[in-house]
């Protein structure tokens, strides 16, 4: 099969238009997941057993159901409740809720990697629990979780393709439309794969640089 490069070049602006939406959704989902993950891990590690159990149940729920199902549930469920969300908002909310659960577990692993002796030392100095967490533990934990966060960020970027199912005009949505109009599936999805590869390669390189900058000397 001969690859039609002219077709790819003609339709590249369409793909780039979708890439802008993909990047916007990815950036917002990553940022919101980082913040929401901190909220969830705070509840997960709280002294209150009820709060910790609620957070654990939430994490298990969002991690063990597909994000596409969550997107559809939020998108159509919001309409049923009389407060319809746009596809973009529903997709962003679903990705934040699910990946916030993953980020909470990543944060928790980083927190548990910090020596308990440092926590005890902080408490012995008269610091309160939240002060020990914010001043002593979290700065070290965040530096330790950059590598797994990089993997999760890549997953989130790829998951943006799922919002095409709720009519968000990102790259995959445009790819489906082009395929329906032209039947040039090979050129369309080869271009789509190349764009995702380029975006993820750039993000991976940036986060690896960040990882080297914040690495704790051994």
Determine whether 115 is exposed, middle or buried from the number of CB atoms within 10 Å of its CB (0-12, 13-18, 19+).
Answer: exposed
Of 152, 141, 151, nearest to 214 by C-alpha is: 141
Q: Pull the structure tokens for residue 69.
A: 């199902």
Confidence of residue 148 (pLDDT cuts 50, 70, 90): confident
The pLDDT of residue 198: 95
pLDDT at 200 exceeding the cut of 80: yes
**Residue in the structure block whose two tokens are 């919101």:** 32
**pLDDT more than 90, % of the chain:** 60
Q: How much helix, strand and coil, in percent to the nearest 5, is found in the chain?
A: 85, 0, 15
Ramachandran bin of 215, using left for φ above 0, alpha for ψ from -120 to 50, beta for the remaining angles: beta
Confidence of residue 6 (pLDDT cuts 50, 70, 90): confident
pLDDT at 155 exceeding the cut of 70: yes
The average pLDDT across 42-64 equals 91
The average pLDDT across 155-161 equals 94
Under 8 Å CB-to-CB from 154, ≥6 apart: which residues?
A: 200, 203, 204
Q: Does domain 5-214 have CATH number 1.10.3720.10?
A: yes
Confidence of residue 134 (pLDDT cuts 50, 70, 90): low
Say which DSSP state 184 is in.
Answer: -
């Amino acid at each position: 099969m001969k690859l039609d490069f002219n077709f790819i070049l003609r339709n590249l602006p369409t793909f780039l238009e979708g890439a802008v939406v993909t990047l916007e959704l990815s950036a917002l989902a990553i940022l919101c997941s980082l913040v929401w993950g901190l909220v969830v891990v705070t509840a997960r590690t709280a002294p209150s057993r009820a709060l910790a159990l609620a957070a654990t149940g939430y994490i298990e729920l969002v991690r063990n159901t597909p994000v596409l199902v969550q997107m559809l549930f939020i998108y159509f469920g919001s309409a049923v409740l009389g407060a319809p969300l746009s596809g973009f908002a529903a997709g962003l909310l679903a990705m934040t809720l699910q990946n916030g659960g993953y980020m909470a577990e990543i944060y928790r692993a980083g927190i548990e990697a910090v020596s308990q002796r440092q926590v005890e030392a902080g408490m012995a100095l008269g610091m309160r629990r939240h002060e020990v967490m914010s001043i002593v533990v979290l700065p070290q934990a965040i530096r330790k979780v950059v590598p797994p966060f990089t993997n999760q960020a890549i997953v989130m970027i790829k998951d943006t393709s799922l919002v095409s199912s709720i009519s968000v005009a990102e790259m995959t949505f445009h790819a489906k439309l082009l395929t329906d109009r032209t039947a040039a599936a090979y050129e369309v999805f080869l271009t789509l794969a190349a764009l995702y590869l380029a975006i993820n390669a750039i993000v991976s390189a940036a986060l690896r640089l960040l990882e080297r900058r914040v690495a704790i000397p051994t």
